[in-house]
Amino acid sequence: MATATSRDGTRIGFEQTGTGPTLVLVDAAGGFREFGPMKSLAEHLAGRFTVVIYDRRGRGESGDTQPYAVEREVEDLAAVIEGAGGPAFVHGFSSGAALALLGAVAGLPISMLSLLEPPITLDKPSQEGELAAEIDALVAAGRRADAVEHFHTSIGVPPEMTAGIRQAPFFPMLEGIAHTLAYDSRMTEAVSPATLRSVVVPTLVISSESSDERLRGWAQGTAAALPQGRHLTLKGEWHGVSDDVLVPALAEFFLRGVA
């Protein structure tokens, strides 16, 4: 593991593997290097890229300097890209896709983007600010387990996927980072139509054919609003695409940028 120091002094843990152009993977809500899809995805991409995965602030080996602001996470991503050696491709999943977009608009050295189902609502006001406040209140009251469950229910995770989550062996870990779910809600809310119009790099927006209409529609709308956006539907599960399907699509897209 390596570390980068963000602008506010926060320590950000990251690691890189493989050879080739640098590709940074940005996790979704609740994900970090030791939990979620990015470690496996990095292993499968490492034959073609120098792949970087990192712990977003408040998770894993990264610090959590207060007060929180979305801008601090953009600075974290900047520090990771710099620590990895400079310009990079960036792939973001869900709220991590929102962070990737904000990084591109902020002028980070990102040459191409891929986004897996960014939860970005363009046709009506976002409710993410209210959700963030509700999570903050539950955490402040010591109800971290309720905060985790409330977040998953509020973002539309199917009931069959949330059933029994409190009995899952990884649930204590999710409780420990419950406060960061409010960070993700604020991250998503920070992306506006103006944000998308300001992203000038080629961007691939991916959705799973097995996701609900809402998620697929958000992906399509995001791609249409981006100056160089392209939408691609892949075979997958609800809000996810397996490595064996996702890796070839990412490799084909990004490697065109170095051809």
- Give 183-210 pLDDT, tens digit per residue: 999 999 999 999 999 999 999 999 999 9
Give the model's pLDDT for residue 123.
Answer: 75
Q: Read off the pLDDT band of 73 (50, 70, 90).
A: very high
The pLDDT of residue 124 is above 80: no
pTM confidence score? 0.95
Cis amide bond preceding 67, omega within 30: yes
Q: Read off the pLDDT band of 171 (50, 70, 90).
A: very high
Q: Read off the pLDDT band of 126 (50, 70, 90).
A: low
State in Å, rounded, how far the first CA of the chain is from the last one.
31
Give the model's pLDDT for residue 163.
Answer: 83
The pLDDT of residue 162 is above 90: no
78: helix, coil or strand? helix
Give the model's pLDDT for residue 178.
Answer: 98
CB-based contact 205:118 (threshold 8 Å): yes
CB-based contact 181:29 (threshold 8 Å): yes
Q: Read off the pLDDT band of 259 (50, 70, 90).
A: low
